[in-house]
Structure 1
Amino acid sequence: MGKKLQVFLLLQLAIMTILASVVFEDCGSVYELYAVNIAGCGSRLPCYITLGEDVLVRLEFHADFLSRKLDQDVVIKINHINLKTPVTPELCEIVDCPVSTKYVTSFTSIMTVPTNMALNQRGYLRWRIYNENEVLVLCYSVLVQTQSPIQKFLFQK
Protein backbone atom coordinates (compact mmCIF):
# COMPACT_ATOMS: atom_id res chain seq x y z
CA MET A 1 0.00 0.00 0.00
CA GLY A 2 1.42 3.41 -0.97
CA LYS A 3 2.41 6.04 1.60
CA LYS A 4 -0.21 8.50 0.35
CA LEU A 5 -2.98 5.91 0.62
CA GLN A 6 -1.88 5.03 4.15
CA VAL A 7 -1.92 8.69 5.22
CA PHE A 8 -5.30 9.18 3.54
CA LEU A 9 -6.74 6.10 5.29
CA LEU A 10 -5.42 7.22 8.67
CA LEU A 11 -6.83 10.72 8.23
CA GLN A 12 -10.24 9.41 7.17
CA LEU A 13 -10.18 6.89 9.99
CA ALA A 14 -9.61 9.68 12.51
CA ILE A 15 -12.54 11.64 11.07
CA MET A 16 -14.82 8.62 10.96
CA THR A 17 -14.18 7.65 14.59
CA ILE A 18 -16.15 10.69 15.74
CA LEU A 19 -19.07 9.92 13.41
CA ALA A 20 -22.01 7.76 14.38
CA SER A 21 -22.56 4.39 12.81
CA VAL A 22 -24.99 4.30 9.90
CA VAL A 23 -28.25 2.45 10.39
CA PHE A 24 -27.64 -0.99 8.94
CA GLU A 25 -29.51 -4.26 8.74
CA ASP A 26 -27.58 -7.39 9.60
CA CYS A 27 -28.26 -10.00 6.93
CA GLY A 28 -26.82 -13.10 8.51
CA SER A 29 -23.50 -12.27 10.17
CA VAL A 30 -21.89 -15.02 12.21
CA TYR A 31 -19.52 -12.51 13.80
CA GLU A 32 -21.05 -9.78 15.96
CA LEU A 33 -21.13 -6.57 13.89
CA TYR A 34 -21.05 -3.48 16.14
CA ALA A 35 -20.72 -0.54 13.78
CA VAL A 36 -20.63 0.43 10.12
CA ASN A 37 -19.23 3.89 9.33
CA ILE A 38 -19.53 5.15 5.77
CA ALA A 39 -17.73 8.42 4.99
CA GLY A 40 -20.25 11.14 4.22
CA CYS A 41 -23.14 9.31 5.89
CA GLY A 42 -24.49 9.87 9.35
CA SER A 43 -27.23 8.05 11.15
CA ARG A 44 -29.95 9.42 8.82
CA LEU A 45 -31.14 7.35 5.90
CA PRO A 46 -30.75 7.12 3.01
CA CYS A 47 -26.98 7.30 2.80
CA TYR A 48 -26.15 9.37 -0.30
CA ILE A 49 -23.49 7.85 -2.53
CA THR A 50 -21.87 9.75 -5.38
CA LEU A 51 -21.29 8.06 -8.72
CA GLY A 52 -17.59 7.49 -9.42
CA GLU A 53 -16.51 8.42 -5.90
CA ASP A 54 -14.19 6.43 -3.65
CA VAL A 55 -15.87 6.00 -0.26
CA LEU A 56 -14.21 4.89 2.97
CA VAL A 57 -16.13 2.25 4.91
CA ARG A 58 -15.10 1.20 8.42
CA LEU A 59 -16.42 -1.87 10.23
CA GLU A 60 -16.14 -2.85 13.89
CA PHE A 61 -16.90 -6.43 14.86
CA HIS A 62 -16.10 -9.22 17.27
CA ALA A 63 -15.12 -12.64 15.94
CA ASP A 64 -16.41 -15.71 17.75
CA PHE A 65 -13.93 -17.94 15.94
CA LEU A 66 -10.73 -17.52 13.92
CA SER A 67 -10.70 -16.84 10.20
CA ARG A 68 -7.45 -17.04 8.26
CA LYS A 69 -8.73 -15.32 5.12
CA LEU A 70 -11.54 -12.84 4.46
CA ASP A 71 -13.01 -12.02 1.04
CA GLN A 72 -15.41 -9.14 0.38
CA ASP A 73 -18.38 -9.24 -1.98
CA VAL A 74 -20.04 -5.82 -2.35
CA VAL A 75 -23.12 -5.14 -4.45
CA ILE A 76 -25.34 -2.08 -4.90
CA LYS A 77 -28.88 -3.00 -5.90
CA ILE A 78 -30.84 -0.21 -7.60
CA ASN A 79 -34.01 -0.78 -9.66
CA HIS A 80 -33.61 -4.57 -9.43
CA ILE A 81 -30.12 -4.35 -10.96
CA ASN A 82 -27.18 -5.69 -8.94
CA LEU A 83 -23.92 -3.88 -9.64
CA LYS A 84 -20.71 -5.42 -8.29
CA THR A 85 -18.75 -2.72 -6.54
CA PRO A 86 -14.93 -2.71 -6.40
CA VAL A 87 -13.46 -2.63 -2.88
CA THR A 88 -9.82 -2.28 -1.85
CA PRO A 89 -7.70 -3.27 -0.06
CA GLU A 90 -8.47 -6.87 0.65
CA LEU A 91 -9.10 -7.42 4.33
CA CYS A 92 -6.10 -9.56 5.23
CA GLU A 93 -3.82 -6.91 3.75
CA ILE A 94 -4.89 -4.50 6.50
CA VAL A 95 -6.22 -6.77 9.26
CA ASP A 96 -3.91 -9.29 10.84
CA CYS A 97 -5.21 -12.67 9.80
CA PRO A 98 -6.19 -14.86 11.49
CA VAL A 99 -8.82 -12.53 12.94
CA SER A 100 -8.53 -12.50 16.72
CA THR A 101 -11.31 -13.57 19.04
CA LYS A 102 -9.84 -11.61 21.96
CA TYR A 103 -10.89 -8.09 21.03
CA VAL A 104 -13.01 -5.96 18.70
CA THR A 105 -11.55 -5.83 15.19
CA SER A 106 -11.80 -2.71 13.03
CA PHE A 107 -10.84 -2.24 9.43
CA THR A 108 -11.33 0.33 6.70
CA SER A 109 -11.88 -0.37 3.02
CA ILE A 110 -12.37 1.90 0.04
CA MET A 111 -15.46 1.26 -2.06
CA THR A 112 -15.64 2.71 -5.59
CA VAL A 113 -19.21 3.66 -6.51
CA PRO A 114 -19.97 2.56 -10.10
CA THR A 115 -20.66 5.31 -12.62
CA ASN A 116 -23.22 3.33 -14.64
CA MET A 117 -26.12 3.59 -12.17
CA ALA A 118 -29.34 5.59 -12.42
CA LEU A 119 -29.26 8.95 -10.62
CA ASN A 120 -31.55 9.92 -7.75
CA GLN A 121 -32.59 6.33 -7.11
CA ARG A 122 -32.81 4.46 -3.82
CA GLY A 123 -31.59 0.96 -3.32
CA TYR A 124 -29.39 -1.12 -1.04
CA LEU A 125 -25.68 -1.51 -0.51
CA ARG A 126 -25.09 -5.13 0.52
CA TRP A 127 -21.68 -6.04 1.91
CA ARG A 128 -20.81 -9.69 2.44
CA ILE A 129 -17.57 -11.04 3.89
CA TYR A 130 -16.70 -14.72 3.64
CA ASN A 131 -13.87 -16.62 5.32
CA GLU A 132 -11.61 -19.29 3.85
CA ASN A 133 -14.34 -21.93 4.37
CA GLU A 134 -16.88 -19.77 2.50
CA VAL A 135 -18.74 -19.08 5.76
CA LEU A 136 -20.60 -15.76 5.70
CA VAL A 137 -18.96 -14.13 8.72
CA LEU A 138 -20.22 -10.55 8.15
CA CYS A 139 -23.20 -9.31 6.17
CA TYR A 140 -24.99 -5.99 6.30
CA SER A 141 -27.27 -3.87 4.17
CA VAL A 142 -27.67 -0.06 4.09
CA LEU A 143 -30.32 2.03 2.32
CA VAL A 144 -28.54 4.28 -0.21
CA GLN A 145 -29.49 6.90 -2.76
CA THR A 146 -27.41 7.80 -5.80
CA GLN A 147 -26.33 11.31 -6.70
CA SER A 148 -23.99 12.96 -9.19
CA PRO A 149 -20.82 14.84 -8.19
CA ILE A 150 -22.61 18.10 -9.10
CA GLN A 151 -25.55 17.24 -6.82
CA LYS A 152 -23.16 16.46 -3.98
CA PHE A 153 -21.43 19.80 -4.47
CA LEU A 154 -24.75 21.69 -4.55
CA PHE A 155 -26.16 19.90 -1.48
CA GLN A 156 -23.03 20.71 0.56
CA LYS A 157 -23.59 24.45 0.18
Structure 2
Amino acid sequence: MNNMSLENPNYWEEETKTCLGKQQVFKANIKIAKQRLSVTSGVHVYQQMYGCEWDDETGEVKGYDQIGYNGKDFIVLDLETLTWIAPKPQAVISKNRWDSDGYVANQEQTYLTQTCPEWLKKYVRYGRRTDLPSVFFLQKSSSSPISCFATAFYPK
Protein backbone atom coordinates (compact mmCIF):
# COMPACT_ATOMS: atom_id res chain seq x y z
CA MET A 1 0.00 0.00 0.00
CA ASN A 2 2.99 2.28 0.42
CA ASN A 3 3.64 1.91 -3.32
CA MET A 4 0.03 2.80 -4.05
CA SER A 5 0.29 5.93 -1.91
CA LEU A 6 3.54 6.91 -3.67
CA GLU A 7 1.96 6.50 -7.10
CA ASN A 8 -1.23 8.31 -6.10
CA PRO A 9 -0.87 10.51 -3.00
CA ASN A 10 -4.65 11.05 -2.94
CA TYR A 11 -5.41 7.31 -2.94
CA TRP A 12 -6.82 7.10 0.60
CA GLU A 13 -8.91 10.26 0.26
CA GLU A 14 -10.37 9.02 -3.04
CA GLU A 15 -11.16 5.60 -1.60
CA THR A 16 -12.78 7.19 1.45
CA LYS A 17 -15.01 9.35 -0.78
CA THR A 18 -15.96 6.29 -2.83
CA CYS A 19 -16.93 4.36 0.29
CA LEU A 20 -18.95 7.26 1.71
CA GLY A 21 -20.82 7.51 -1.60
CA LYS A 22 -21.53 3.78 -1.58
CA GLN A 23 -22.82 4.08 1.97
CA GLN A 24 -25.51 6.49 0.74
CA VAL A 25 -26.41 4.17 -2.13
CA PHE A 26 -26.65 1.22 0.28
CA LYS A 27 -28.96 3.19 2.60
CA ALA A 28 -31.25 4.06 -0.32
CA ASN A 29 -31.20 0.48 -1.62
CA ILE A 30 -32.11 -1.04 1.74
CA LYS A 31 -35.10 1.34 1.96
CA ILE A 32 -36.22 0.17 -1.48
CA ALA A 33 -35.74 -3.51 -0.56
CA LYS A 34 -37.71 -3.07 2.69
CA GLN A 35 -40.59 -1.46 0.77
CA ARG A 36 -40.67 -4.16 -1.88
CA LEU A 37 -40.50 -6.94 0.71
CA SER A 38 -43.11 -5.23 2.93
CA VAL A 39 -40.77 -5.07 5.90
CA THR A 40 -41.43 -2.36 8.49
CA SER A 41 -39.10 -3.08 11.39
CA GLY A 42 -36.16 -5.11 12.61
CA VAL A 43 -32.54 -5.44 11.61
CA HIS A 44 -31.86 -6.27 7.98
CA VAL A 45 -28.75 -6.84 5.90
CA TYR A 46 -28.07 -5.47 2.42
CA GLN A 47 -25.07 -7.17 0.83
CA GLN A 48 -23.21 -6.52 -2.38
CA MET A 49 -20.38 -8.69 -3.58
CA TYR A 50 -18.62 -7.57 -6.71
CA GLY A 51 -15.18 -7.96 -8.16
CA CYS A 52 -13.08 -9.67 -10.74
CA GLU A 53 -10.87 -12.69 -11.20
CA TRP A 54 -7.78 -12.53 -13.39
CA ASP A 55 -5.80 -15.53 -14.60
CA ASP A 56 -2.26 -14.24 -15.04
CA GLU A 57 -1.34 -17.21 -17.25
CA THR A 58 -4.22 -17.03 -19.75
CA GLY A 59 -5.19 -13.38 -19.26
CA GLU A 60 -8.82 -14.43 -18.80
CA VAL A 61 -10.92 -12.01 -16.75
CA LYS A 62 -14.23 -12.81 -15.07
CA GLY A 63 -16.39 -10.33 -13.22
CA TYR A 64 -19.34 -10.65 -10.89
CA ASP A 65 -21.87 -8.40 -9.17
CA GLN A 66 -24.40 -9.88 -6.78
CA ILE A 67 -26.78 -8.10 -4.44
CA GLY A 68 -28.36 -9.89 -1.51
CA TYR A 69 -30.87 -9.05 1.16
CA ASN A 70 -30.93 -10.86 4.51
CA GLY A 71 -28.54 -13.53 3.26
CA LYS A 72 -30.40 -14.41 0.06
CA ASP A 73 -29.76 -13.42 -3.55
CA PHE A 74 -31.84 -10.43 -4.56
CA ILE A 75 -30.48 -9.47 -7.98
CA VAL A 76 -27.42 -10.70 -9.92
CA LEU A 77 -25.72 -9.38 -13.04
CA ASP A 78 -25.18 -11.79 -15.94
CA LEU A 79 -22.10 -10.29 -17.59
CA GLU A 80 -22.43 -12.42 -20.72
CA THR A 81 -25.89 -11.14 -21.63
CA LEU A 82 -25.60 -7.80 -19.77
CA THR A 83 -28.93 -8.48 -18.12
CA TRP A 84 -29.96 -8.83 -14.50
CA ILE A 85 -31.33 -11.99 -12.93
CA ALA A 86 -34.02 -11.52 -10.29
CA PRO A 87 -34.35 -14.66 -8.13
CA LYS A 88 -36.96 -12.87 -5.98
CA PRO A 89 -40.15 -11.48 -7.53
CA GLN A 90 -39.62 -8.25 -5.58
CA ALA A 91 -36.42 -7.61 -7.56
CA VAL A 92 -38.15 -7.77 -10.95
CA ILE A 93 -38.90 -4.02 -10.80
CA SER A 94 -35.17 -3.25 -10.52
CA LYS A 95 -34.29 -5.88 -13.13
CA ASN A 96 -36.71 -4.38 -15.65
CA ARG A 97 -35.58 -0.81 -14.97
CA TRP A 98 -31.87 -1.68 -15.15
CA ASP A 99 -32.28 -3.92 -18.21
CA SER A 100 -34.34 -1.32 -20.10
CA ASP A 101 -31.78 1.47 -19.97
CA GLY A 102 -28.70 -0.79 -20.02
CA TYR A 103 -26.66 1.92 -18.32
CA VAL A 104 -26.07 0.08 -15.04
CA ALA A 105 -25.02 -3.17 -16.75
CA ASN A 106 -22.71 -1.35 -19.18
CA GLN A 107 -21.09 0.61 -16.35
CA GLU A 108 -20.62 -2.60 -14.38
CA GLN A 109 -19.20 -4.41 -17.40
CA THR A 110 -16.62 -1.67 -17.94
CA TYR A 111 -15.65 -1.67 -14.27
CA LEU A 112 -15.55 -5.47 -13.88
CA THR A 113 -13.70 -6.27 -17.10
CA GLN A 114 -11.35 -3.27 -17.39
CA THR A 115 -10.94 -1.14 -14.27
CA CYS A 116 -11.06 -3.94 -11.71
CA PRO A 117 -8.43 -6.13 -13.45
CA GLU A 118 -6.14 -3.10 -13.86
CA TRP A 119 -6.29 -2.45 -10.10
CA LEU A 120 -5.95 -6.16 -9.31
CA LYS A 121 -2.80 -6.39 -11.44
CA LYS A 122 -1.43 -3.30 -9.73
CA TYR A 123 -2.10 -4.69 -6.23
CA VAL A 124 -0.51 -8.02 -7.16
CA ARG A 125 2.52 -6.27 -8.67
CA TYR A 126 2.96 -4.10 -5.58
CA GLY A 127 2.59 -7.12 -3.33
CA ARG A 128 5.31 -9.16 -5.02
CA ARG A 129 8.31 -9.66 -2.84
CA THR A 130 11.82 -9.63 -4.17
CA ASP A 131 13.37 -11.45 -1.22
CA LEU A 132 13.40 -15.23 -1.29
CA PRO A 133 11.85 -17.36 1.44
CA SER A 134 14.16 -18.10 4.36
CA VAL A 135 14.43 -21.42 6.16
CA PHE A 136 15.84 -21.83 9.65
CA PHE A 137 16.53 -25.02 11.56
CA LEU A 138 16.78 -25.04 15.31
CA GLN A 139 17.99 -27.87 17.52
CA LYS A 140 18.85 -27.14 21.14
CA SER A 141 20.88 -30.30 21.65
CA SER A 142 21.77 -33.36 19.60
CA SER A 143 18.96 -35.32 21.26
CA SER A 144 16.23 -32.67 21.07
CA PRO A 145 13.74 -32.44 18.20
CA ILE A 146 14.55 -30.26 15.21
CA SER A 147 12.31 -27.26 14.57
CA CYS A 148 12.01 -25.76 11.10
CA PHE A 149 10.87 -22.20 10.45
CA ALA A 150 10.12 -20.89 6.96
CA THR A 151 9.29 -17.22 6.34
CA ALA A 152 8.67 -14.72 3.54
CA PHE A 153 6.41 -16.77 1.27
CA TYR A 154 4.71 -14.89 -1.59
CA PRO A 155 2.93 -16.16 -3.45
CA LYS A 156 2.31 -19.26 -1.41
User: TM-score normalised to the size of structure 2?
Assistant: 0.28
Larger Rg, first or second structure (1 or 2):
2
Relative contact order: is structure 1 or structure 2 higher (C-alpha 8 Å, sep ≥ 6)?
Answer: 1
User: TM-score normalised to the size of structure 1?
Assistant: 0.28
Greater fraction of residues in helix: 2
